Amino acid sequence: MDAMDRKLLGLLAEDATLSYKDMGERLHLSAPAVHERVKKLKKAGAITGTVARLDGAAVGRPLCAFIHMDTEGWGKSPELMAIQDDSRVEEIHAVAGDTCVILKVRCESTKALEDILHRLYQVPGMIRTQSYIVLNTYLERGPGV
C-alpha cells in the first residue's frame, strides 16, 4: 500500500459515495486508475465493505451504550456469540483488562437496554455486566490511514 492508496482510503472513509471520477480529480488520477486501485484494495482486504452510517436517533434508536461483560473463561461461546443476531448489537470485542467482552449497542430506550441485559444474563458463564450509556458522541470513525 502506497501513499496514494492511503489518500484514496481516506476519501472513501469520509464519503464512500464519491464517484471514481470525483476521487480521481481530488487525487489527480484518472477514473480508471482509481477503479483499479479500489479493486486492488478490496482484493487485499483493506476495503471490507461499503456501508451507510446511520443516525441512531433518526432510525428510532437514540440510546447508545457500551456493555462490559465478565464471563467465566475467555467468554466467547456459541451462546454469547448468538447475541450478534440482535440488530441492536453493533459491535462485539474481546478485550484485555478488567473485563472480557465489550458490546456496543444502540436501542430504543432504557427498557430495551434492560431487555438486552436480561438476554445476556441467560448466557451460561455470565458473571456480571457493567453498562455505560453514551451522553454524546464527539467522534466516531474507522481506522485512520
Q: What is the DSSP string of 15-69?
A: -TT--HHHHHHHHT--HHHHHHHHHHHHHTTS-----PPPPTTTTT--EEEEEEE
**Is residue 58 one of the residues assigned to a domain?**
no
Q: Check pLDDT > 80 for residue 144.
A: no
Per-residue pLDDT at 103? 96
Residue 80 has pLDDT above 90, yes or no: no
Number of domains in the chain: 2
Residue 129 and residue 71 share a domain = yes
Q: Tell whether 22 is covered by a domain.
A: yes
Q: How far apart are CA 129 and CA 70, in angstroms?
A: 6
Q: Is this prediction's pTM over 0.75? A: yes
Summarised one tens digit per residue, pLDDT across range 2-35 is 999 999 999 999 899 999 999 999 999 999 999 9
Query: Do residues 39 and 70 share a domain?
Result: no
> What CATH number has the domain bearing residue 34?
1.10.10.10
Task: Note down the domain range covering 69.
Answer: 63-133
Q: What's residue 85's pLDDT?
A: 95
Closest to 119 in 3D by CA, of 145, 144, 94, 86: 86
